[in-house]
Amino acid sequence: MRVKMEKTARLKAETKERTLKKFLLSQKDVVYTEPLEIQAGRSVTVFYRPSNTVLNGKPEVWFRGSFNRWTHRLGPLPPQKMEAADDGSSHVKTSAKVPLDAYMMDFVFSEKEDGGVFDNRYGLDYHLPVVGGIAKEPPLHIVHIAVEMAPIAKVTVRLKPV
């Protein structure tokens, strides 16, 4: 039984890793990082292709980022003007140092240093997981609310005659 549990845990971890890698590669036409897996305590380069977004044709692209779902103790990073990538593609790039206590990297792009038009994935922002950090993402607490949850709760509807 122990061997079966270990095998199940290993398969689950491998599947999670493959799924994450596929997700990161699937959005490469808009945004990707080098290294692909963001490590806490190291630098990461963010590549962005504005021609596939609302910033198409804008003369400048600015990077605005933070960590841990925008709640990192050091606050947001200062806006950084992105420069053309060296590979001759239409990507622009910038680099950032990832803190040791990061578990998520969050960022958006804008046309100006002080704002203007934003590419924030239609209000969802860009979020990429960070590995090797000393902090872990807090658990998500989910509450289910339903009309009927018998035998826990029951709703009685009374109709009045008209």
Q: What is the pLDDT of residues 17-51, one digit of tens each?
A: 888 888 777 778 899 999 989 999 999 999 999 99
| pLDDT for position 154 | 63
- Pick the more confident residue, 162 or 50: 50
Enumerate residues 6+ apart whose C-beta is below 8 A from 40: 98, 99, 100, 101, 102, 103, 130, 131, 132, 133, 134
Q: E-assigned strands of the chain? A: 31-34, 38-39, 43-48, 62-67, 80-81, 83-84, 92-97, 104-112, 115-119, 126-131
CATH superfamily of 28-131: Macroglobulin (MG2) domain (2.60.40.1930)
| pLDDT for position 29 | 85
Which of 79-88, 103-112, 145-154 is predicted least confidently? 145-154
Mean pLDDT of 85-108: 93
Which of 14-18, 117-121, 141-145 is predicted least confidently? 141-145
| pLDDT for position 26 | 75
Q: Is the pLDDT of residue 5 over 70?
A: yes
What is the average pLDDT score of the chain?
89
